Structure 1
Amino acid sequence: ATEATTKYFIIQTTAAAMILFAGTTNAWQSGQWTLPQSMHPISTTLLTLAVMMKLGLAPTHSWYPEVLQGSTMTTALLISTWQKLAPLSFLYVTMNTLNPNTLLLIGLLSALLGGWAGLNQTQTRKILAFSSIAHMGWLVTALTLNPSLATITLFTYITMTTPVFLMLHLTATKTLLDLSTMGTYTHTMQIMTLLILMSLGGLPPLTGFLPKWMIMKEMITTNMLPMSTALLLASLPSLFFYVRMTYLTTLTTAPANTNTEYKWRLKTTPTALLPTTTVLALISLPLTPMLYHTL
């Protein structure tokens, strides 16, 4: 945990220093501290790199899986959800000053690398870290096209990621091998994990399908067919390891090492966060168009 904390601190402070240096350089060049419509190329480059580092986007992503692996499930949940809000808000404010083609390339690279790098992982926290990198790629792409669409994508990402981390925390699941014993805790949680993983993979009619479909629709409308095709193909490896986790969760029988049907476990304190986010992760599909037109 100490190593993960040190890595996270160094990365975040370095990115914050780069943002301050970019603002100072831009003020020196333009004579004003406000964000203009166009910035100096050096300031734009530093700003883009800083946001990439804070969000864990490719190719500045190498710290992210290691930090999540060295953290507890609850801490990893906060890093994957809550800690994304401030950099994304900053990216939303500075969108007009950044190069959209660069952001699209970063989004595609993150989606591709997040899928391929997660294929050979056995630790659930590292798998979810690469899943987060891939989802951030989709989110940056959506932000380049339509900020309202990016808000919907962020909402669905948080509501799908939160119950997965909470379920893995409650069942003490750390590796793919532990997934096969999840049914010995409760079969209801086993089925819910199956559905949420399929929602993270973007399969209809679950919640995770609609943001990807709307992003594809927006890209095709703006004549970005090659980019949309590449982004879809980049999401296939992610879908593969979601299906693999689903297979290990529901279709694999755990070895019977004891004479009891269920594992010995301490009584956990019920929380309203898990059922609430689980319901949102599974049945928010009809609400998404309404949210899209409201924002």
Structure 2
Amino acid sequence: MSPLIWTLFLLSLTMSTTITMTSNHWLLAWLSLELNTLSIMPIMMKYHHPRMTEATTKYFIIQATAAASILFASTINAWQTGQWSITGPTSMLTTTLITSALALKLGLAPMHLWYPEILQGMPLYTAMLISTWQKLAPLALLYMMHKNLSPTMVSMLGLLSTATGGLMGMNQTQTRKIMAFSSIAHMGWLMVALIMNQSLATLTMITYITTTIAMFTAMAATTTKTTHDAGSIRTISPAITVTMMIILMSLGGLPPLTGFMPKWLLIKELTSMKLMLVGMTLLAASLPSLFFYTRLAYLIMLTTPPTTTQM
């Protein structure tokens, strides 16, 4: 692909997300979401491989369905209230439809089944882009309409995502699928934080994006695509080995690492608001995630790399 065309697609991807984050009109937000989807599709199909073509087609169908739902819901809202404003009043039907559509875009449970399959069909850097940058536009819309969101619905989506991401990630051997279920679990924490405290949700999002970018970069540098490859990382770079272990422990939320801070603050916030059950459920649901992070760290640090020496 020509560098000029490549630059044009990246610029379009950046601009579409920025427009979504700064818009206050549902039609403009919908238009920029569609532009965002169209901009990333050529990037996803950079290498002409059947798996990438399949993943890109799935991604387009999912994102187009979610965007169509947003357009449908915002049109109903304009018909009922006479307003196209994102921060304006919305009916319960409109809020439910838009929240469901944005949850589909983010890959939240129970609308998450497309997400691991698409990440598995992508190169590591493209998977990183889908796991980080592509989350910003839907999250920005949720931020803007947080006063109209149903706390019960968003909390249920969050708890279900945290539990699903942890449980379904336990038996995975593909690192991209592990990162996909990790993303689903972290989005669950973020959804609960969004209802409690928007500043805390921002901290959770920044921590998630930073650690995810670091993990994908380390995996790309060592070409780690399966857990079987993890034992060979020490022979490639001891520094990256230690870095990956720290990142994994941070993703798991172990103190005193960065990933512990937003989780601790969220549990503290839930406790202060007498929502002990939600906090305990979140903590219990995050244990399976911690298991597969620890297992991957063990494989990286403590297993013997394969040898070709003839006995």
Query: What TM-score do the two structures reach when normalised by structure 2?
Result: 0.82
Q: Which runs of 4+ in 1 moved over 3 A?
A: 35-38
Q: Which residue of 1 aligns with 2:41?
A: none
Structure 1 residue 14: Cα displacement:
0.9
Counterpart check, 1:62 vs 2:144? no
Q: Which residue of 2 aligns with 1:190?
A: 241
8 Å CA contact 1:202–1:208 kept in 2: the answer is yes
Q: Which residue of 2 aligns with 1:155?
A: 206
2:194 to 123, 143, 158: 143
More helix by share: 2
Rate the CA distance shift 1:149–1:36 in 2: closer, same or farther, 3 A.
closer
List aligned pairs for 1:80-95, cutoff 5 A: 80-95=131-146
Gaps of 5+ in 2: 1-51
- Provide the C-alpha distance between the structure 2 equivalents of 1:31 and 1:91, rounded to a whole number of angstroms: 21
2:184 to 130, 133, 152: 133
- Provide the C-alpha distance between the structure 2 equivalents of 1:190 and 1:240, rounded to a whole number of angstroms: 19
Look up the SS of the partner of 2:307 in the other structure: coil
Query: Matched residue pairs, number?
Result: 259
Q: Which residue of 2 aligns with 1:213?
A: 264
Structure 1 residue 127: Cα displacement:
0.4
Query: What TM-score do the two structures reach when normalised by structure 1?
Result: 0.86
Q: Which residue of 2 aligns with 1:14?
A: 65
- Provide the C-alpha distance between the structure 2 equivalents of 1:168 and 1:30, rounded to a whole number of angstroms: 49
Structure 1 residue 152: Cα displacement:
0.5
8 Å CA contact 2:207–2:259 kept in 1: the answer is yes
Look up the SS of the partner of 1:106 in the other structure: helix
Structure 1 residue 44: Cα displacement:
1.4
* Cα deviation 1:198-249 (Å, max 9, x = unaligned): 0110000110001000000000011100110010000000000000000100
Q: Which residue of 1 aligns with 2:224?
A: 173
* Cα deviation 1:83-115 (Å, max 9, x = unaligned): 101110011001112101110111000000000
- The two structures, once aligned, show a CA RMSD in angstroms of 1.1
The letter for the 2-side match of 1:3 is E
8 Å CA contact 1:37–1:96 kept in 2: the answer is no
List aligned pairs for 1:8-87, cutoff 5 A: 8-35=59-86, 38-87=89-138
Gaps of 5+ in 1: 260-295
Q: Which residue of 1 aligns with 2:29?
A: none
Counterpart check, 1:244 vs 2:295? yes
Higher relative contact order (CA 8 A, sep 6+): 1
Look up the SS of the partner of 1:97 in the other structure: coil
- Provide the C-alpha distance between the structure 2 equivalents of 1:155 and 1:74, rounded to a whole number of angstroms: 18
Look up the SS of the partner of 1:248 in the other structure: helix
8 Å CA contact 1:38–1:96 kept in 2: the answer is no
Structure 1 residue 59: Cα displacement:
0.3
- Provide the C-alpha distance between the structure 2 equivalents of 1:45 and 1:119, rounded to a whole number of angstroms: 31
Structure 1 residue 42: Cα displacement:
2.1
Look up the SS of the partner of 1:129 in the other structure: helix
